[in-house]
Amino acid sequence: MSQAGEATQTPRHAPRTTRSAQTRERIIAAATEVFARSGFHGAKVADIAEQAGIAYGLVYHYFHNKEDILAAIFTERWAQYVTYLHEVGDMDVGFREQMRRLVHFWVEVYRREPDLMTVMINEVTRSYEFLESHDIGTVMVAFEAIEQIIRKARDRGEVASSVDPQLASYVVFGAAEMLLTGYVMGTLRRDEQPAFAGDETQMLEVLLDGLAPRSPT
Amino acid sequence: MSQAGEATQTPRHAPRTTRSAQTRERIIAAATEVFARSGFHGAKVADIAEQAGIAYGLVYHYFHNKEDILAAIFTERWAQYVTYLHEVGDMDVGFREQMRRLVHFWVEVYRREPDLMTVMINEVTRSYEFLESHDIGTVMVAFEAIEQIIRKARDRGEVASSVDPQLASYVVFGAAEMLLTGYVMGTLRRDEQPAFAGDETQMLEVLLDGLAPRSPT
Amino acid sequence: MSQAGEATQTPRHAPRTTRSAQTRERIIAAATEVFARSGFHGAKVADIAEQAGIAYGLVYHYFHNKEDILAAIFTERWAQYVTYLHEVGDMDVGFREQMRRLVHFWVEVYRREPDLMTVMINEVTRSYEFLESHDIGTVMVAFEAIEQIIRKARDRGEVASSVDPQLASYVVFGAAEMLLTGYVMGTLRRDEQPAFAGDETQMLEVLLDGLAPRSPT
Amino acid sequence: MSQAGEATQTPRHAPRTTRSAQTRERIIAAATEVFARSGFHGAKVADIAEQAGIAYGLVYHYFHNKEDILAAIFTERWAQYVTYLHEVGDMDVGFREQMRRLVHFWVEVYRREPDLMTVMINEVTRSYEFLESHDIGTVMVAFEAIEQIIRKARDRGEVASSVDPQLASYVVFGAAEMLLTGYVMGTLRRDEQPAFAGDETQMLEVLLDGLAPRSPT
DNA sequence: GATGAATGAGTCTTCATTCAT
DNA sequence: GATGAATGAAGACTCATTCAT
């Protein structure tokens, strides 16, 4: 745990073969699932290996330690996530459409990789332990990307001038995350595709237009 | 973890003396602090005892095990929380005012007991582990209380008729929780009272009126 | 455990009042029951106190430690036991009658105090630990008493001359003990008094006349 | 203790290698020795491991917990024991010879594996704790086997018709067990082979022909 | 690369014993 | 005498990590 920073910097080895790379991916996928279910501390390396269908000793061929797996998930998946946020920010499609795509993206990502989001949120976003040994700024980038989208839209007049982009980014992120949490926890049951689409519409409406009725009802 | 439910139901003993009750409170307070700092898994019973200024063995006079302490924190504080949500729901003050009070309540609770909220958020609300071994319904009551507030307001015409109260309750809860998470994480630095007040106003505005500008766009 | 010998020699105090003596008896009775059920190591002082209906701290007013309670059971009860064995040995009633009385005595003692016998056998007679810290000779006296009874009977011609009194005492003691174990374990169900009487007769017959049919049946 | 049954049913894993199987045997042998010396409760897992020449953690690769080791000793040895009893029962050699072999078997087993018998007697046969958490029927099978031997012999006229086979099986088993206990406790010192043989003869005589002199005295 | 046997630091938890009240 | 709060030594058990095969 103490050498976490170092470990993160020093991948155990570069993948030499395709198979090797596949095994590494399998471990990351398995770890994502197990971390999501049990949390970092509650996850056993043996569980991860079992989930990945390999011997537990093999994990240490690919990662220095358990912490290093979490770091890899973070490094290799979070980046994609933030990349998309920036892409959306750079799209010339208007704020409503940007938000629509963001919400859709979240819901889609969750539908495809619910565990990844869970780990990101629970283990990365909240963990002092983790953040202390990594750059908290890297985590914050996601918030800042959304903040930027809102700020620019505000500058264009597509967001109310009174809105504080930073605060608003927390609202947006929080709302999205709680929706996804509802999915994962099973408190929001959505078995059909249309239901997911309906949620996207609803969330979008609430975030953009608020709860209070617009104009003369 | 498997006997957690049982443990929760069976307090080790009724407080016989004032001193006994005080020690129990000391342990709960200390545990709240340590759980907030290190997380449930990362917290050592010995740390909790040290923080409480007692021998670690004494913890087991008052609680069955570590899990039981977390359960006690949850049980004894969450009820107060839900009670307030219901009080707000019963107030005859209009939806905007209800929401104002809710948001203020959340921010205030955090300001007064940041560790408690941290534990609630990180170890209870977000923990599969906890939710799986306890009555998730107890947790959901909070969501339902907000859902009811929104539903009634919609019936009164104070919330747009197109809004789905359940979905909206997730947005509201999620936004509030992420705000507090920002406080907890220190990514939202708020050292001054006015800053907190500003956040409340902002959050209220976004939730009620949305990000999009009102008036004639 | 190390000062067991010392502890045994030094009763914590002489009973000053009748009530005091009664409490001491209650502890001994309770301990006998708990030791029988859980063994010495498995028995908790708290269980003994609860069984006795007193606070666990009070146990230490009457005994130095847990070991001391066992020693007291041994000292104060075993003596009575051996005394009776000697009485039987001194009776001028013939070997068959002596054996009859012995067997009856065992069955009776067990019927009245099965726990006492269980403790004697399991924790005293069979325990290296106990025997190491006490005079094993004291325990052996019971065997020797039976051995003497047999030896004298042999000298009188009432026992086959080929019989080794020492070995025979083990047979007698073992048979009796296993019978009683059957009662306690519930593998030998005896709810009616006649059943017990029947067992005494059977055991006596087998021990005295053997399994093989006597001459012309 | 409550999951003991479950643990017993579920070996931690099947031996994958010869070495693995050897280590498991080493642990069982070491545990037998330590249990015999200190009793189940008094035995430390660390002692067992030290005796086996391994790290204590390794014990938990092979067994779920301490109780599980005792259960394994019982399961894997008792079966052999009962098997032999049945073999003797099926022999067509007459009752006297059957008994002779039984007694010889018991004495031999003790001579070869005194610790094993000590554990069987002290921790298995006598322990409520053990018997409560396991199938007592499995233990009783041994009694029943002897009972059958006696019953059949009675039917053949080789045992007195007045004998109750069940009661008699307790006498036989009890006598044998106490003899072994004498060996175990060291109260019956037998350093020479002839002494053991003498014991067998004596026990056989007492059990078959009884203490009372046969014929006309 | 792969496996899983082996290690032992780290914790939780129990419970005999003490002692203030 | 009586109580039970408090202490802390002792020991069971977990599991990340190493390494021989």
pLDDT over 60 at A11, yes or no: no
- DSSP label of C214: P
- Beta-strand ranges (E) seen in chain D are none
What integer is the mean pLDDT of D103-115?
88
Which of C189-193, D60-64, D141-145 reaches the highest mean pLDDT?
D60-64
User: What is the residue-averaged pLDDT of chain B?
Assistant: 87
User: What is the full DSSP assignment across B89-115?
Assistant: HH--S-HHHHHHHHHHHHHHHHHH-HH
Provide the pLDDT for residue B158: 95
pLDDT over 50 at B8, yes or no: no
Domain range annotation of chain A: 3-66, 71-209
What band does A4 get if pLDDT is binned at 50, 70 and 90?
very low
Q: Three-state SS string across chain A, please?
A: CCCHHHHHHCCCCCCCCHHHHHHHHHHHHHHHHHHHHHHHHHCCHHHHHHHHCCCHHHHHHHCCCHHHHHHHHHHHHHHHHHHHHHHHHHCCCCHHHHHHHHHHHHHHHHHHCHHHHHHHHHHHHCCHHHHHHCCHHHHHHHHHHHHHHHHHHHHCCCCCCCCCHHHHHHHHHHHHHHHHHHHHHCCCCCCCHHHHHHHHHHHHHHHHHCCCCCCCC
Provide the pLDDT for residue B110: 84
Among A103-107, C70-74, C127-131, D25-29, the range scoring the smallest mean pLDDT is: C127-131
Nearest CA to A119 among A148, A179, A77, A174? A77
pLDDT over 90 at B60, yes or no: yes
State residue C156 phi and psi, 5-degree precision. Answer: -85, -5
Helix segments in D43-90, DSSP class H: 45-52, 56-62, 66-90
Within this chain, domains C3-66 and C71-209 share the same CATH topology: no
What integer is the mean pLDDT of A47-63?
96
CA distances to A99, B136, B202, D138 from B199, rounded to whole Å, are 22, 30, 5, 71
Q: What is the pLDDT of residues A111-164, one digit of tens each?
A: 888 888 888 877 765 555 555 556 667 777 888 999 999 999 999 999 999 999
pLDDT over 60 at A205, yes or no: yes
Provide the pLDDT for residue A74: 84
What whole-number distance in Å separates Cα of residue C100 and Cα of residue C86?
Answer: 15
Nearest residue to nucleotide F17, by CA–C1' distance, is: A65
First to last CA, chain B: 55
What band does D78 get if pLDDT is binned at 50, 70 and 90?
confident
pLDDT: is C183 or B174 the higher one? B174
- Which residues from A are below 8 Å from B206, CB to CB? 163, 167-168, 171, 207, 210
User: What is the full DSSP assignment across C123-134?
Assistant: IIIT-HHHHHHS
Q: Which of residues 5-34 of C touch strand F (CB under 7 A)?
A: 13, 15-17, 19-20, 23
pLDDT over 80 at C1, yes or no: no
Provide the pLDDT for residue B2: 37
Q: What is the pLDDT of residues C137-191, one digit of tens each?
A: 777 888 899 999 999 999 999 999 999 999 999 999 899 988 988 887 788 888 8
What integer is the mean pLDDT of D8-29?
79
Among residues 25-84 of chain A, which lie with CB inside 8 Å of chain B? 36-42
Is residue A129 a contact partner of residue B39, using CB atoms and an 8 Å limit?
yes
CA C61 to chain CA centroid, Å, is: 27
What integer is the mean pLDDT of D63-69?
95
pLDDT: is A71 or C140 the higher one? A71
Is residue C120 a contact partner of residue C78, using CB atoms and an 8 Å limit?
yes
What whole-number distance in Å separates Cα of residue C121 and Cα of residue C177?
Answer: 8
Q: What is the pLDDT of residues D148-159, one digit of tens each?
A: 999 999 999 999
Is residue A206 a contact partner of residue A178, using CB atoms and an 8 Å limit?
no
Instruction: Count H helices and E strands in chain B, helices first.
Output: 11, 0
Provide the pLDDT for residue D158: 95
Percent of chain C with pLDDT over 90: 48
Is residue D217 a contact partner of residue D113, using CB atoms and an 8 Å limit?
no
Rg (CA), chain B: 19
Q: Which nucleotide is nearest to B22 (CA to C1')?
A: F5
Percent of chain A with pLDDT over 70: 85
Q: How many residues can be counted in chain C?
A: 217
pLDDT over 80 at B27, yes or no: yes
Provide the pLDDT for residue D5: 38
pLDDT over 70 at B141, yes or no: yes
Write the CB contacts of A26 (distance below 8 Å, at least 6 apart in sequence): A52, A53, A54
Q: Class of the B3-66 domain?
A: mainly alpha
- DSSP label of D1: -
pLDDT over 80 at B216, yes or no: no
Question: Using CB atoms within 10 A of its CB, is residue D14 exposed (0-12), middle (13-18) or buried (19+)?
Answer: exposed
pLDDT over 60 at C210, yes or no: yes
pLDDT over 60 at B92, yes or no: yes
User: What is the residue-averaged pLDDT of chain C?
Assistant: 85
Provide the pLDDT for residue A125: 59
Q: How far B116 CA sits from the closest chain A CA (Å)?
A: 15
pLDDT: is D213 or B4 the higher one? D213
- Amino acid (1-letter code) at residue A208: L
Is residue C211 a contact partner of residue D100, using CB atoms and an 8 Å limit?
no
Percent of chain B with pLDDT over 90: 53
Provide the pLDDT for residue D136: 76
Nearest CA to A120 among A84, A83, A77? A77
What whole-number distance in Å separates Cα of residue C28 and Cα of residue C197?
Answer: 30
What band does B11 get if pLDDT is binned at 50, 70 and 90?
low
What whole-number distance in Å separates Cα of residue D15 and Cα of residue D22?
Answer: 9
pLDDT over 80 at A13, yes or no: no
Nearest CA to C106 among C69, C135, C73, C145? C145
Structure tokens that stand for D86 in this block = 């049945």
Is residue B115 a contact partner of residue B70, using CB atoms and an 8 Å limit?
no
Contact criterion met (CB < 8 Å) for A39 and B127: yes
Provide the pLDDT for residue A15: 64
Is residue C165 a contact partner of residue C105, using CB atoms and an 8 Å limit?
no
Q: Which of residues 97-136 of D touch strand F (CB under 7 A)?
A: none
Nearest residue to nucleotide F6, by CA–C1' distance, is: B58
pLDDT over 70 at C15, yes or no: no
Q: What angle do CA D195, D147, D183 make, to 5 degrees?
A: 25
3 state SS of D101: helix
pLDDT over 70 at D8, yes or no: no
Best of D206, D209, D214 to substitute, by most chain C Cβ atoms within 10 angstroms, is: D206
Residue among D37, D129, D157 whose CB faces C38 most closely: D129
User: What is the full DSSP assignment across C24-68?
Assistant: HHHHHHHHHHHHHHHHHHH--HHHHHHHHTS-HHHHHHH-SSHHH
Give chain B's largest Cα–Cα span.
67
Q: How far B85 CA sits from the closest chain A CA (Å)?
A: 18
Q: Does the domain formed by C71-209 have CATH 3.20.20.150?
A: no
Neighbours of A109 (CB within 10 A): 18
